[in-house]
Amino acid sequence: MMNKKKLEIYVHIPFCAKKCAYCDFLSFPGNMRMRREYTDKLLEEIRIQSSFVREYQVDTIFLGGGTPSVLDVSDITAIMGALKEHYDIAPDAEITIEVNPGTVKMEGLVAYREAGINRVSMGLQSADDTELRYLGRIHTYDEFLKSFQRVRMAGFTNVNVDLISAIPGQTPESWRNTLKKTAMLKPEHISAYSLIVEEGTPFYDRYGGHVEMESYEMSPEERRRLMALPDLPDEDTEREMYYMTRNCLAEQGYERYEISNYARPGFECRHNVGYWTGTGYLGLGLGASSYLEGCRFHNTSDFQSYVSAHFDDEAEFCQALRQDMEQLSVKSKMEEFMFLGLRLTRGVSAEGFITRFGQSIRNVYGGVIDKLEREGLLEHKNGYYHLTERGLDLSNYAMSLFLLD
């Protein structure tokens, strides 16, 4: 067992109570029949997929979505039971479930704990009820507070809160208020992202210059409200919020360990750190992505194809579900090692590069490293190359230089 490789597992639950106007994730409201069908097929997939990863020990599990907490508690406990039965899960594995305020009850949270889940990620986004309404969230700040209190009362001692800045009508003052209110609750982890207006969302139609929304099931009144939303903060205001996030959370004892993630010491999200450092991961469920032995692929994103797939043997499984299989070249692996690793404030390990690729990082990227060091964007310290504060601010530019010709 000591020689087993680490594996992360991501379980996708695509259902949500209501699709938010900014969300481009693979998620949708589903009726009880759809949820039942999906859970049954997911349990089957959990069993089949385990045959591909016998040589791994599971270090982290993440139940994401969508909103996993909209499933019946019995479904979540069944999923956890199947994972425990078919996979070698480390005794100290980090096991996270995403929940939204208003979708969790005390008895459900207690059942999650009893099933082995030890980390909760809550989607607050904003402490301002008007901003929550603009985003299309189904909860108020007060409902979030009640849900957060339930999570603590259920015994969870590792909690993340998700926040979004630069949302419609937001001001630096309201964002500072959200940061302070969140930090006062003392969650162990805070993810603070800037809104990205993604194509294919109602927000893209409102803010991307597109006004045709025939693909969305909206009433005329809903469309009127969407188009009446206030403008997004301008670029200077968004940048002010970015710096405010870093400074405000640092004052409250949160250490920035990744571009958009902050934690109290010892509470960095192991699952996400695994993604950024190249740990293999297995995706279970609709559209879930995997990365195993240098091969990337994902499950079908079509709900009907997923629930009707036959998993009688491994060959049928691969044919029925896996799509876009790609064996990464050494070049691609090197690029990803740099792109993802430099998201972490500690940076990338020079020794780790040699271990993985059999040559020094300077042998491959010496010119880029020298250039970024001259520009004050990159530093070498304690065996790691990491972006400076200015480098993190200009991370898109800095990382683009690590593309190999």
The tens place of each residue's pLDDT in the chain, 405 residues long, gives 458 999 999 999 999 887 787 787 888 888 999 999 999 999 999 999 999 999 999 999 999 998 999 999 999 999 999 999 999 999 999 999 999 998 889 999 999 999 999 999 999 999 999 999 999 898 999 999 999 999 999 999 999 999 999 999 999 999 999 999 999 999 999 999 999 888 878 777 788 765 554 445 667 777 788 777 888 999 999 999 999 999 999 999 999 999 999 999 999 999 999 999 999 999 999 999 999 999 999 999 999 999 998 877 777 777 788 999 999 999 999 999 999 999 999 999 999 999 999 999 999 999 999 999 999 999 999 999 999 999 999 999 999 999 997
Q: What whole-number distance in Å separates Cα of residue 310 and Cα of residue 284?
A: 15
Give residue 1's pLDDT. 47
Residues listed for the chain? 405
User: Residue 214 burial (CB < 10 Å; 0-12/13-18/19+)?
Assistant: exposed
Helix, strand or coil for residue 201?
A: coil
Report CA 342 to chain centroid distance, whole Å: 17
CB atoms within 10 A of CB 384: 17
Strand order in the sheet with 384-387: 348-349, 384-387, 378-381
Residue of 334, 378, 329, 331 whose CA lies nearest to 353 = 334
Residue 206's identity, in one-letter code, is: R
How does strand 89-99 pair with strand 119-125? Answer: parallel
Give residue 217's pLDDT. 66
Residues 327 and 365 sit within 8 Å (Cβ to Cβ)? no
Q: What whole-number distance in Å separates Cα of residue 251 and Cα of residue 70?
A: 35
- Quick one: tokens of 238? 């968004």
All structural domains of the chain = 5-276 (3.20.20.70), 330-400 (1.10.10.10)
Q: What whole-number distance in Å separates Cα of residue 61 and Cα of residue 92?
A: 11
CA angle, 234 as apex, 231 and 240 as ends, to 5°? 130
Residues 8 and 280 sit within 8 Å (Cβ to Cβ)? yes
Give residue 2's pLDDT. 59
Give residue 313's pLDDT. 72
* Structure-token match 């690029």, residue found: 335
